[in-house]
Amino acid sequence: MVIYETTFHSTFELVDEKAKEALMLLKAREIDWMSHTLFKINFVLRELLNNAVEHGNAFDPQKKVFLRIESRDQLFIFTIRDEGSGICMDVASSDAGVAEKVPRHDKTYHAICANETLERLKHSADETESDVDALADRRRGLETIRRLEFELNITGNTIVATLDLSKEAMQ
């Protein structure tokens, strides 16, 4: 069941507005929410929406971000899509396989998959220190989301974050 669906222009002000609307609708559902669960949802929602504005749409207020929140039994599914070029998935990676977008000098975006190491990037003549920092920041954000028990599926410019409330009740 779709709980909330919206498309909005890429601004942090609208991210804040849409995140508040979404949380209000989630709180109104007949669920005995635990405060830490609502905190996690708020954090993840804002992180993914902010990433869509900053990295996907490159702060272009004319580009849009799509958000849909669905529930299926004990699952809550958050789908975020931007108008950026997307990020790749490294299916050969033994870890989560999440990819990052790293800005290059020519202002285009090239996919760097998760099994690329920061050490290797540091020694590449094509990378700047800020490129390496951007990669580290993106990895840190996605890893934090995973540690908050969200399953992440990334396809191109769409990220789907799923939270299983049955696992939340056990904590």
Q: Amino acid identity of 21?
A: E
Report the C-alpha gap between 50 and 57 in whole angstroms: 10
User: What is the reported pLDDT for 154?
Assistant: 86
Q: Quick one: 162 exposed, middle or buried, by C-beta within 10 A (0-12, 13-18, 19+)?
A: middle
pLDDT in tens, 53-70: 998 899 999 999 999 999
112: alpha, beta or left? (left if phi > 0; alpha if psi -120 to 50): beta
Among left, alpha and beta (phi > 0; psi -120 to 50; other), residue 18 is alpha
Contact criterion met (CB below 8 Å) for 152 and 145: yes
81 or 87, higher pLDDT: 81
pTM: 0.74
Sign of CA dihedral 35, 39, 42, 45: negative
User: Does residue 168 carry a pLDDT above 60?
Assistant: yes
Rounded alpha-carbon distances, angstroms, from residue 133 to 32, 53, 113, 128, 147: 40, 18, 15, 9, 21
% of residues, the chain, pLDDT over 70: 67
Domains for the chain: give ranges and CATH numbers: 2-83+150-168 (3.30.565.10)
